[in-house]
């Protein structure tokens, strides 16, 4: 029974996976090129910021060690999970440069190992990458044959930054792309002991697993974009309410409620690039990928549409507060953040923009290069704001009250993209509250529909009476 595991790459996902595996009783050896990360892990501390990571490593430090040596890790473990960056290239595909280097080091270590070893790639790659690009490296460097002398699997995780450990231990399913049955069975057995919720495994070929990974994320982005479109439509309807509509849609078992909340577009390090990558591989294979292309283009248009809508409501040089700078709550990551896109667009349009985020303030400050002012508290933002945009449903923002928005201004505009303060702020004096996805001008919206359909019934009646 496998008990010793090595994890190659101690970034957010790798360090969190190592900690989670150790918490389930496995002995784990982490490998990274960053000496500081190695030192921190060996001290029982987290090498990166992630929810519950520091506590989990500390609680299981007797089962976790780290090294810069791939050879040491491979020779002292039964299976290696490779979790290294696969950045997008100029084509929209995923670069294999870091994975290739890791596989080269692992292959050299395998040449010195007599017993069977399983190599599991967890980094996101495109179909064909594992078999055609990476396995040959292992075979060349080790002098051994994949599927006979060592195993190879592709098994990406479906996690969200800010909840990696929780997601890893409680997945909907585990995806196993296997070169051969022995490798897949070993990995499935390990997962059966790791996953707290007893999640099932989906076993398949390497290429099918590689496609499944990017397909899941692309489908989710399509669902998000569809809900956002419904939110825009609801704003044009009398008493339009996107939550009522999406709650009803979610009751259909063919659709489901997850990721069907109309709000801002998606962001982060995975969703945008996976959508583009699926488009790339489809085109390379001669397949029309207009659905994925449209989802991506609609998502990239969100910030401009928001700013265009807000222009008539915000005077020139007004101070606008943006609450939420990360791409999602509970994360300090600002990559592809819709909030940052909006903040930058507002700044270019002439507004003075101030922002706050419980975790991502420093990251946003580094990325924005002075385009907006990042403040240390919600109170500082609200004290000087003429308009407030709530761009993430962070619990800190849900706790705000009517009193929180009172300042020297005669009226303050609050645009709540997630509708988290509707019960508190709707119809309050001195607050112009806009809940994104709700029809907020019934007279105008009614007029629009009357103009569209008002003459239709009369025309039909007159025609049928002839």
Is 153 noted as a catalytic residue in this protein?
Answer: no
Among 153, 234, 270, 381, the active-site one is 270
The full 3-state SS of the chain, as one line of letters, equals CCCEEEEECCCHHHHHHHHHHHHCCCEEEEECCCHHHHHHHHCCCCCCCCCCHHHHHHHCHHHEEEECCHHHHHHCCCEEEECCCCCECCCCCECCHHHHHHHHHHHHHHCCCCCCCEEEECCCCCCCHHHHHHHHHHHHHHCCCECCCEEEEECCCCCCCCCHHHHHHCCCCEEEEECCHHHHHHHHHHHHHHCCCCCCEEEECHHHHHHHHHHHHHHHHHHHHHHHHHHHHHHCCCCCEHHHHHHHHHCCCCCCCCCCCCCCCCCCCCHHHHHHHHHHHHHHCCCCCHHHHHHHHHHHCHHHHHHHHHHHHCCCCCEEEEECCCCCCCCCCCCCCHHHHHHHHHHHCCCEEEEECCCCHHHHHHHHCCCCEECCCHHHHHHHCCEEEECCCCHHHHCCCHHHHCCCCCCEEEEECCCCCHHHHCCCCCEEEEECCECCCHHHHHHHHHHHHHHHHHHHHHHHHC
Q: Which residues are annotated as catalytic?
A: 270
């Amino acid at each position: 029974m496998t008990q010793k595991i090595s994890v190659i790459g101690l970034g957010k996902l790798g360090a969190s996976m190592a900690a989670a595996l150790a918490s389930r009783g496995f002995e784990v050896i982490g490998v990274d090129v960053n000496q500081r990360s190695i030192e921190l892990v060996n001290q029982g501390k987290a090498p990166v910021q992630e929810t519950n990571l520091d506590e989990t490593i500390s609680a299981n430090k007797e089962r976790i060690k780290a090294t810069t040596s791939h050879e040491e890790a491979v020779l002292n473990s039964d299976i290696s999970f490779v979790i290294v960056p696969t950045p997008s290239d100029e084509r929209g595909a995923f670069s294999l440069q870091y994975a290739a280097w890791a596989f080269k080091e692992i292959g050299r270590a395998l040449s010195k190992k007599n017993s069977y070893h399983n190599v599991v790639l967890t980094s996101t790659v495109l179909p064909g990458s594992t078999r055609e690009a990476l396995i040959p490296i292992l075979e060349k460097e080790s002098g051994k044959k994949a599927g006979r002398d060592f195993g190879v699997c592709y098994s990406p995780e479906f996690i969200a930054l800010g909840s990696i450990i929780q997601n890893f231990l409680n997945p909907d399913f585990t995806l196993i792309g296997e070169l051969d049955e022995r490798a897949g069975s070993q990995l499935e057995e390990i997962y059966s002991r790791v996953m707290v919720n007893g999640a099932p495994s989906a076993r398949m070929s390497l290429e099918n697993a590689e496609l499944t990974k990017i397909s899941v994320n692309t489908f989710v982005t399509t669902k998000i974009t569809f809900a956002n479109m419904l939110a825009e439509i609801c704003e044009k309807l009398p008493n339009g309410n996107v939550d009522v509509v999406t709650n009803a849609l979610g009751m259909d078992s063919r659709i489901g409620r997850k990721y069907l909340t109309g709000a801002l577009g998606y962001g982060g390090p995975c969703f945008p690039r996976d959508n583009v990558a699926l488009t790339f591989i489809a085109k390379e294979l001669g397949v029309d990928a207009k659905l994925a292309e449209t989802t991506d283009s609609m998502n990239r248009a969100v910030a401009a549409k928001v700013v265009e809508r807000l222009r008539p409501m915000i005077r020139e040089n007004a101070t606008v507060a943006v609450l939420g700078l990360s791409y999602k709550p509970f994360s300090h990551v600002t990559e592809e953040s819709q909030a940052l896109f909006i903040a930058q667009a507002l700044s270019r349009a002439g507004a003075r923009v101030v922002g706050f985020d419980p975790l991502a303030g420093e990251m946003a400050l580094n990325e924005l290069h002075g385009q907006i002012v990042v403040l240390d508290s919600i109170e500082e933002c609200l004290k000087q704001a003429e308009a407030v945009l709530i761009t993430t449903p962070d619990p800190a923002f849900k706790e705000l009250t009517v009193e929180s928005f009172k300042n020297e201004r005669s009226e303050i505009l609050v645009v709540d993209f997630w509708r988290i303060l509707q019960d508190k702020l709707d119809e309050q004096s001195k607050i112009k509250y806009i809940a994104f996805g709700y029809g907020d001008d019934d007279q105008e919206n009614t007029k629009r529909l009357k103009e569209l359909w008002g003459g239709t019934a009369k025309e039909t009646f007159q025609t049928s009476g002839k």
